[in-house]
Amino acid sequence: MEVELGRCQCGCGRETRLAPYNCTAKNWTRGEEAQRAISRYGFGYEVGPGQHAEFLEELLALCLQDAYTFAGDAGDGYDYSEQLFAFEIAAARDGVFLPSSYWRKRSGSLEHELEQAVESFRVPDREEA
């Protein structure tokens, strides 16, 4: 997965590797997992360019995972990131667990592939089994 350089979409004009996720005006990194990763990053060790690029890719996945968790916890499927697909929001409302591997692979996948993956994580109803 490669995170591309882009412009933040909130209108601040900043250039960022996590566009549009990391603009503080939109609080893209406000989720629990993203905040944990940010607080640990560089603590007690020196960070090189390669590690920084890897961290940004990991942070992107964590931001999406946090948005998904929030959409499920909110009950109404609210997506503060405005980046989740409708089928992801529906799965969040239904309480479908998506592992971290899904979020890491997400940016390199097509929408229909992601939808199939999300459906594969749904637990069948006991009546259907």
Q: What is the pLDDT of residues 24-72, one digit of tens each?
A: 445 566 677 877 787 777 777 777 777 777 777 888 888 889 989 989 9
Q: What is the pLDDT of residues 89-110, one digit of tens each?
A: 999 999 999 999 999 999 889 9
> What number is the average pLDDT over the span 116-125?
90
Q: What is the pLDDT of residues 7-16, one digit of tens each?
A: 444 455 544 5
pLDDT at 128 (0 to 100):
54
**How many Cα atoms occupy the beta-carbon half-sphere of 118 within 13 Å?**
23
pLDDT at 26 (0 to 100):
53
pLDDT at 117 over 90: yes
Q: What does the chain come to in residues? A: 129
pLDDT at 27 (0 to 100):
58
Using a cut of 0.85, tell me whether the model's pTM lies above it.
no
pLDDT at 98 (0 to 100):
96
What is the residue-wise DSSP string for the chain? --PPPEE-TTSS--EETTTTTT-TTTTTT-SHHHHHHHHHTTTTS---HHHHHHHHHHHHHHHHHHHHHHHHHHSS---TTS-S-HHHHHHHHTT----HHHHHHGGGS-HHHHHHHHHHTSPPPTTT-
Give the Cα separation of 76 and 32 in Å (integer). 19
